[in-house]
Homo-oligomer: A and B are copies of this chain.
């Protein structure tokens, strides 16, 4: 009676699967908690509680608090902002694409506010501990965008006002700068400012030197 013990048939999840699930829960919880309280301000108890687990679970999956933070940043950060690129309709003009990309980016910042705050905190951490910098997500993303800008300019027969790499760097900086200011002063920063600025920066295309193609 009271068939509480019926481990037959259903093998249930394997140990490995359960561990992976726990790890995922911890990372999810860490993302929320760290972003809300800041990395230094959030304790492992906070993280474990938010995940419905105990601190021991953290130490069973990660070497230390720093390792947890590190893993979180490596695995979860910067993935989404890269995903913007394929969403932009490349058949539009460069200026239109700029507006679209700007809007997508601000939407992302709105949705993933926590992750953005984390990213800034991480940047400050790296600024203070340069030896912990890793092979750069930054350069990879930047070069990807630079390539797109370059290709667009060539196709349109327009001359870029500076090397595409520098332009891409500036775009990332503008995006993160606007987002940061917007997170701090939501009422003072129009959400479409980034898109409009991109439009201004890419307006060189509107008076191309020549249409000598074909």
* Other contacts beyond A166-B193, A170-B174, A173-B181: 13, CB < 8 A: A38-B40, A40-B41, A117-B127, A123-B181, A127-B184, A142-B188, A162-B196, A169-B181, A172-B177, A172-B181, A173-B180, A173-B189, A175-B177
Q: Are A178 and B189 in contact (CB under 8 A)?
A: no
- Chain B min CB distance to A94 (Å): 14
Q: Are B188 and A139 in contact (CB under 8 A)?
A: yes
Partner of A169, one of B123, B138, B170, B189: B189
Copy count, this protein chain: 2
Chain B residues with CB below 8 A from A57, complex form: none
Chain B residues with CB below 8 A from A139, complex form: 185, 188
Q: Is A37 an interface residue (CB 8 A)?
A: yes
Chain B residues with CB below 8 A from A201, complex form: 197, 200-201
Chain A contact residues, majority secondary structure: helix
- Assuming A128-B36, A166-B193, A200-B162, is B188 touching A123 (CB within 8 A)? no
- Chain B min CB distance to A11 (Å): 45
- Chain B min CB distance to A57 (Å): 25
Chain B residues with CB below 8 A from A180, complex form: 120, 123, 127, 173, 176-177, 180
Q: Is A83 an interface residue (CB 8 A)?
A: no
Partner of A170, one of B120, B128, B197, B203: B197
Q: Is A103 an interface residue (CB 8 A)?
A: no
Chain B residues with CB below 8 A from A175, complex form: 177
- Chain B min CB distance to A143 (Å): 10
Q: Is A124 an interface residue (CB 8 A)?
A: yes
Q: Are B124 and A166 in contact (CB under 8 A)?
A: no
Residue in B closest to A176 when the chains form the complex, CB atoms:
B177
A-B contact pairs, 29 of them (CB 8 A): A37-B128, A38-B124, A38-B125, A40-B41, A117-B124, A117-B127, A117-B128, A120-B123, A120-B180, A123-B180, A123-B181, A123-B183, A123-B184, A126-B184, A127-B184, A133-B185, A136-B188, A138-B181, A138-B188, A162-B196, A162-B197, A166-B193, A169-B193, A170-B174, A170-B193, A175-B177, A177-B177, A197-B201, A203-B204
